[in-house]
Amino acid sequence: MGFRQDHLLGIEPLAPDEIQEILDLADDYVALSRSDDKHSDALAGLTQINMFFENSTRTQASFELAGKRLGADVMNMSLAASSIKKGETLIDTAMTLNAMRPDLLVVRHPHSGAVDLLAQKVNCAVLNAGDGQHEHPTQALLDALTIRRKKGRLHRLSIAICGDIAHSRVARSNLILLGKMENRIRLVGPPTLIPAGMADLGCEVYEDMAEGLRDVDVVMMLRLQKERMDGGFIPSEREYYHLYGLDAEKLAHAKEDAIVMHPGPMNRGVEIDGALADDINRSVIQEQVEMGVSVRMAAMDLLARNLKRRRQAA
Ligand code: ASP
């Protein structure tokens, strides 16, 4: 049936075959990115604008590199520091950018739903690079690609998502994606950081790391989102590390070949032990960064094909 989306606003609207299609194309782009000539002309002639209303290091760099490898003209705008501070509304900013005729708009925004709103106002393909606590679809796709390549499949795996589930768009997008692919998902963390009702969504919820990690194939750690917390969600970072920080001892409860993931940026010594994060026999954190570029190349390529089709038909 093929990839049918006009935008990539979340994982929610994607069907399993569309997810597989992005990952299959991303595999090709991993091979291209590992070769000496990393260029393709899939986005030649197209303009990509990256609008980041919230700070980002790896996601912005990854989208920029992805666009450049595919031959797009890429422009970065860090709006956290510019017009938004002068009181321009999101829609004004969108209309201004729209007049510059972009083909791909990559947007990160602190408010859930802001990227969807923008997508309704512009004439190009929009990619959500993280909106509030809502979704971060390319992160879930790059995590899926990493898991598929490491485990040889993306279904019937036992996956523990651990830590600050409540504030994490990464957890949300991953839950949706891994659920669509029929995996067994466990959420592990203190009750203050796990939203109520998660068990009704088919996840198993654990308060204890040793129990939650028992025999899992994948351990996905999350950053403690301090900037999104306005009260006492945890007693202290020291105590949190003691109970929920992933170290070799806690990891020993998982399967012997379980992989360790983290979306970055990491709080070493808070949610994960620094030595374990750097252990290339267990941690796939660097692979996740590598897969990020290829997944974003694939997503932009597929969206650009649909955009060109729509424009030709108009
Ligand atoms: N980089 C991810 C995000 O933008 C994860 C994080 O910040 O903890 O959501």
What does 159-211 look like in DSSP terms, one character per residue?
EEEES--TT-HHHHHHHHHHHHTT-EEEEES-GGGS-TTGGGGT-EEES-HHH
Task: Please report which helix (H) or strand (E) contains residue 127, including its range.
Answer: strand 125-131
pLDDT at 77 over 90: no
Name the 3-class secondary structure at 33: helix
Tell me if 136 CB under 6 Å of ligand 1. yes
Phi, psi angle pair for 122, to nearest 5°: -120, 165
- The pLDDT mean for the chain works out to 94
Residues 178-201, mean pLDDT to the nearest whole number: 92
pLDDT at 300 over 90: yes
> 49-53, 134-138, 300-304: which has the minimum mean pLDDT?
49-53
pLDDT at 91: 81
Q: Give residue 226's pLDDT band: very low, low, confident or very high (50, 70, 90).
A: confident
DSSP string, 242-262: HHH-B-HHHHTTS-TT-EEE-
pLDDT at 230 over 90: no
Residues 273-288, mean pLDDT to the nearest whole number: 98
Residues 27-33, mean pLDDT to the nearest whole number: 98
Q: Give residue 131's pLDDT band: very low, low, confident or very high (50, 70, 90).
A: very high
pLDDT at 33: 98
b/e code 95-126 from CB counts within 10 Å (16+ = b): eebbeeebbbbbbbbbeeebbbebbeebebbb
The predicted model scores a pTM of 0.96
Tell me if 188 CB under 6 Å of ligand 1. no
Residues 133-160, mean pLDDT to the nearest whole number: 98
Tell me if 108 CB under 6 Å of ligand 1. no
Q: In 10 A of CB 268, how many CB atoms? A: 16
pLDDT at 193: 94
CA atoms of 41 and 39, how far apart (whole Å): 7
pLDDT at 37 over 90: yes
Tell me if 130 CB under 6 Å of ligand 1. yes
Q: Which DSSP letter does residue 115 get?
A: H
Tell me if 137 CB under 6 Å of ligand 1. no
Tell me if 223 CB under 6 Å of ligand 1. yes
CA atoms of 133 and 8, how far apart (whole Å): 16
Q: Which DSSP letter does residue 1 get?
A: -
Sole residue written with tokens 């929009």: 126
> Could you tell me the distance, in angstroms and rounded to a whole number, from the CA of residue 170 to the centre of ligand 1?
7
Residues 127-141, mean pLDDT to the nearest whole number: 97
CA-closest candidate to residue 25, choices 260, 304, 312 = 304
> Could you tell me the distance, in angstroms and rounded to a whole number, from the CA of residue 289 to the centre of ligand 1?
12
pLDDT at 36 over 70: yes
Two structure tokens written together for 165: 């589930």
Residues 121-140, mean pLDDT to the nearest whole number: 96
CA-closest candidate to residue 114, choices 96, 98, 93, 85 = 93
Residue nearest to atom 1 of ligand 1 (CA): 264
pLDDT at 97: 85
> Could you tell me the distance, in angstroms and rounded to a whole number, from the CA of residue 250 to the centre of ligand 1?
23
Tell me if 169 CB under 6 Å of ligand 1. yes
> Could you tell me the distance, in angstroms and rounded to a whole number, from the CA of residue 262 to the centre of ligand 1?
9
Ligand 1 atom closest to 169 (CA): 9
Q: Give residue 87's pLDDT band: very low, low, confident or very high (50, 70, 90).
A: low
Tell me if 224 CB under 6 Å of ligand 1. no
> Could you tell me the distance, in angstroms and rounded to a whole number, from the CA of residue 3 to the centre of ligand 1?
26
Phi, psi angle pair for 218, to nearest 5°: -135, 135
Is residue 186 within 8 A of residue 216, CB to CB? The reply is yes
Q: Is 242 exposed, middle or buried (0-12, 13-18, 19+ CB in 10 A)?
A: exposed
pLDDT at 82: 59
